[in-house]
Structure formats: C-alpha cells, structure tokens
A and B are shown apart, each in its own frame.
Chain A
C-alpha cells in the first residue's frame, strides 16, 4: 500500500528558537497581545510504500532518528498517516 506520513521535527524545550522569537515579537508589535510564544518546526510529508501501517511508521521513525532530526536539539513525532489513492 502507498501511504502518506507526516512527521514534525521541533526543537526541544530549552533550545532557543530565534525565528520563533522574532515571529512572536512581530505579532505583538502588530497588536496581537494574546500571543505569548511562537515555536517554529519542520514538517515532512513522506510518501512511502509499505505492507502495513506499522511498517511504514517504523521506517519513518528510523529515518527521522537518523537523518531528519538532530537528537541533540530536536524531537520528532508522526502527526498523520493516511493511505493514498
């Protein structure tokens, strides 16, 4: 089956996010007083051939651990898996 897996890589807590800080400051300047904090992240959409969901998940987690994320500063999690038509 062909699956579409979406995985998010974001910086760990305590790791500074200069881009997120700049965005939240800009939003506050624009008058959005309710915004406290913005954190940025990367989203990867991966098309994968797999026998089942579990296999696809396993491969994508392995890829994320090895390549997509740097474990020193980043965490990752799969946010969506769906079968493609």
Chain B
C-alpha cells in the first residue's frame, strides 16, 4: 500500500506522521507492506497513493483562519478529486481544519473556549467502528492521544449537528478514562465533545488528536497506531 503525507509550508507533524506510517512496515498485524512518500503542496499530482494524510501544523501560518489558505494550494485540488472518487483521506489537527475549509467535511473550528492553546493528553471514545479508520476497533474503545491546538472547538449549526449525529458521522468523542463523555472531559468546548468526524461516504476523517504522536510506547501511548493500521487493513480487506 502506498500512503502520502502532504507537506504545506508550516506543517510540522509531517515527519512524525511519515515515521508512524513507516513503522507499520514491520508489523505482524498489518496485511501487507506500507510505503510512505511526501507530497508537496505545490504539486498537482498525487501519483498513485491509497491513503493521503494531511498532517498537523500551521499551514501558511494559519493566517486569516486555520487552513484557509492551504485549501487553495494546488495539491488540495488533487486531494479533493481523490476524496470525491472515494480515496481515503485523514486530516490530523491542522489537517482536519484544512478539510473543513475545503468543504470535504461539514462544520468549522472556533478558538478553544478557554482561549488557551491546549497541549495535553486526552482520552477519546470510538463512536463508530464501521469506518475505514476504526476498522477492527469496537464502539466504546478508549484511545489515549495528545492534542495540541488553539482552534479545536468544533462548531456547526443545529441542523448540521443533527445531520452529523444522525448519519453516525461522529467517529471520536472526548471522554474521561472511564469512557464517560461529559463537560469535564471536553477540553476545548467542542459541540457534543466531538473530537473527530467523517464525511457521509465514510472515506474522509478529520480528527484533532494526534495519532502519530501516540504511535510508539516510548511516546506514552501506542493507541494512535491503531488508526493507521485500521485504514491500511481496510484497504487490504
């Protein structure tokens, strides 16, 4: 399987994501091999990749709004085309914000309700295991991952939120260590504790927590690796 990690000017999780994906190559529970390449924001072609990851960072300085300018980069035209054909796209943190700006996912991000940049570990609960990115997980599974963002306060109007909830598009919710979803376990004010959503078709996922930063025991958690393994095993199913 071929995976591509997009580098925008200001991306800063591209190498970590590359490393996390590359480390899967030797894994027993991965069906097949995994090659990883970088894709440049100014390129028009994706070549033949099976999974595209938009990494975290501050694309184009995140001026105006997070992800606002990344949306107009040449590579994003290709990414939108790839997604519209059913290709798997994962946006992490700034990557999630870019997917929102590119209208590949519904809603928008507001500054955290605390008005603070939050860099912390969180627990998230798997809400939908019937997705390529949670393939092999169970609904209710709890994953431990870091977050690091100022604008992770997910917003959509009431109608849109109802639609997202009814479609089972919420993939992850912030919870506590016991899996309870409540105000206290909500780090940023996100509506309904939403930490990650997918599109209706189920091939595009955006999430604020960083799975690539939870992809090695030495980092404190290995839970993030599961998301990459899921996507790759789903492709090979």
- Which A residues fall within an 8 A CB radius of B? 14-16, 18-19, 22, 67-68, 70, 72-73
Contacts and interface: CB of A to CB of B under 8 A. Distances in A.
Interface string B184-215: 00000100000000000000000000000000
Given A15-B155, A16-B189, A70 B113 contact: no
Nearest to B71: A67
Given A18-B115, A67-B64, A72 B107 contact: yes
Residue among B64, B115, B189 having the largest count of chain A Cβ atoms under 10 Å: B64
Contacts of A22: 115
B110 A18 contact: yes
Interface of B: 64-65, 68, 72, 100-101, 106-108, 110-115, 153, 155-157, 189
A66 to B, nearest CB: 9
Given A22-B115, A70-B108, A73-B110, A16 B64 contact: no
A73 B68 contact: no
Contacts of A15: 110, 155
Given A15-B155, A16-B153, A72 B108 contact: yes
A67 B113 contact: no
